[in-house]
């Protein structure tokens, strides 16, 4: 809570392309939050360097991610959109919270275990304390709700534990946040293996549809999607491939599964897959067009980065100064 207003906070990494799972489960719904909450959306470039980055690419993706936020309907007049490294308070609070987070807690984070297995040659301390920086993002803004994917739930729960621990020693410092897990995005499965979640880092490019894929690519990927035995377009537990495609079609067209079964009664898988590809491409076309326009306006994006950072800093500074005062850091005004 900041004053009377409840706060919603979320972040996205500027690494890799975002998928239709990210779009349907997160980005597309973000704009609604501003009706109910004071909303912050952050491009977390400081999190990105826990694995090696090519500087020019990190920079380019930072612009792209901001442009994509805006293309997905996040109006900068109604939401604070900014870049993490431009608000210095994040790293400052992260150091402090490191001193209130236990080695054992961080060792239990599944993402750390996965990432250290994947990057065995670079298990750096930043990878280990990644969730503490994330907790700082969230707690700096006195956040009430954190819309995230299921994979980030454990990190938000750790953030709650850190906040509660700190509040116990220094009462009334942080709002304790609640994760909000979107159900829709969870249901978007890989096109190559429909028992697995669609993941932006999948090595098989045909398994994943990216928000910025062009029309032909989208249609081709859906044509190649793995389907099940039988020939009926029907949602069922033993038809994970077709069920996944029906879910995607439902998300993009607003039609219910029953309506979709009726629409495609007696129609083969091939024709149905084409329809899903076309519906997806149609729905993404305006987002892609808006993205292109935003990205072409570099000065506009930079002005937004500056403005967003100023807005965010106002809140971040208030929390950090409260924390530092409680800890006994000397403050001279
Ligand atoms: N760790 C998140 C992810 O990889 C991104 C993130 C960083 C985030 N800070 C956050 C999400 C704060 C929500 C709130 O997806």
**Interval between CA 195 and ligand 1 midpoint (Å):** 25
What mean pLDDT comes out for the span 16-39?
A: 91
Q: Is the entire prediction scored with pTM above 0.95?
A: no
User: Which residue's C-alpha comes closest to atom 10 of ligand 1?
Assistant: 11
User: Which residue's C-alpha comes closest to atom 9 of ligand 1?
Assistant: 134
HSE-up (13 A, CA, CB side) for residue 146: 31
Ligand 1 binding pocket mutation candidate from 8, 11, 109 (most atoms within 8 A of CB): 11
User: Which residue's C-alpha comes closest to atom 3 of ligand 1?
Assistant: 12
Tell me: the pLDDT tens digits for 87-102?
Answer: 999 999 999 999 999 9
Tell me: the pLDDT tens digits for 61-89?
Answer: 999 999 999 999 999 999 999 999 999 99
Q: What is the pLDDT of residue 68?
A: 95
> Domain 205-291 is classified in which CATH homologous superfamily?
Tyrosyl-Transfer RNA Synthetase (1.10.240.10)
What number does the ligand 1 atom closest to the CA of 133 have?
9
**Interval between CA 151 and ligand 1 midpoint (Å):** 10
Instruction: Spell out the alpha helix ranges (H) of 141-188.
Output: 153-169, 183-186
- Give me the numbers of helices (H) and strands (E) for the chain, helices first please: 15, 5
Q: Return the CATH fold of 7-185+298-327.
A: Rossmann fold (3.40.50)
Ligand 1 binding pocket mutation candidate from 81, 93, 111, 152 (most atoms within 8 A of CB): 152
Joined tokens for residue 60: 């380019």
User: Which residue's C-alpha comes closest to atom 8 of ligand 1?
Assistant: 11
Q: Where are the domains of the chain?
A: 7-185+298-327, 205-291
Ligand 1 site residues (CB inside 6 A) read 9-13, 44, 47, 134, 137-138, 146, 148, 152
Which listed residue (115, 187, 239, 273) is catalytic? 115
Which of these, 188, 177, 176, 110, lies nearest to 145 by C-alpha position? 177
Ligand 1 binding pocket mutation candidate from 8, 9, 12 (most atoms within 8 A of CB): 12
Q: What is the pLDDT of residue 185?
A: 60
Q: What is the largest CA-CA distance in the chain?
A: 76
Q: What is the pLDDT of residue 275?
A: 97
Confidence label for 187 from pLDDT (cuts 50, 70 and 90)? confident
Tell me: the pLDDT tens digits for 288-308?
Answer: 999 999 999 999 999 999 999
Catalytic annotation on 200?
A: yes
Residue located via tokens 């009664």: 265
């Amino acid at each position: 809570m900041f004053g009377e207003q409840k706060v919603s906070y979320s972040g996205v990494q500027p690494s890799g392309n975002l998928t239709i799972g990210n779009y349907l489960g997160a980005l597309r719904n973000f704009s609604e939050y501003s009706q109910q909450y004071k909303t912050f959306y952050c491009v977390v470039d400081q999190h990105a360097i826990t694995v090696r980055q090519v500087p020019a690419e990190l920079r380019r993706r930072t612009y792209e991610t901001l442009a994509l936020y805006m293309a997905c309907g996040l109006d900068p007049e109604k939401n604070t959109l900014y870049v993490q490294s431009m608000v210095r308070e994040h790293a400052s609070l992260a150091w402090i919270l490191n001193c209130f987070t236990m080695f054992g807690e961080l060792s239990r984070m599944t993402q750390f275990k996965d990432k250290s297995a994947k990057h065995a040659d670079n298990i750096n301390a930043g990878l280990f304390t990644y969730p503490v920086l994330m907790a700082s993002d969230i707690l700096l803004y006195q956040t009430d709700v954190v819309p995230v994917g299921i994979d980030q739930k454990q990190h938000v729960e750790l953030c709650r534990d850190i906040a509660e621990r700190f509040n116990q020693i220094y009462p009334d410092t942080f709002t304790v946040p609640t994760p909000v897990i979107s159900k829709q995005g969870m249901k978007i499965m890989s096109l190559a293996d429909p028992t697995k979640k669609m993941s932006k880092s999948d090595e098989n490019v045909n398994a994943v549809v990216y928000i910025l894929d062009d029309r032909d690519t989208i249609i081709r990927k859906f044509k190649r999607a793995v389907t099940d035995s039988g020939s009926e377009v029907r949602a069922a537990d033993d038809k994970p491939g077709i069920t996944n495609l029906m879910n995607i079609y439902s998300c993009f067209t607003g039609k219910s599964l029953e309506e979709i079964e009726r629409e495609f009664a007696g129609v083969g898988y091939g024709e149905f897959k084409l329809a899903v590809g076309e519906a997806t491409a149609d729905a993404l076309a305006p987002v892609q067009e808006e993205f292109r326009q935003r990205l072409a306006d570099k000065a506009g994006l930079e002005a937004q980065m500056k403005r967003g950072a100023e807005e965010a800093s106002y809140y971040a500074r208030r929390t950090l100064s409260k924390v530092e005062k409680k800890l006994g850091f000397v403050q001279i005004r």
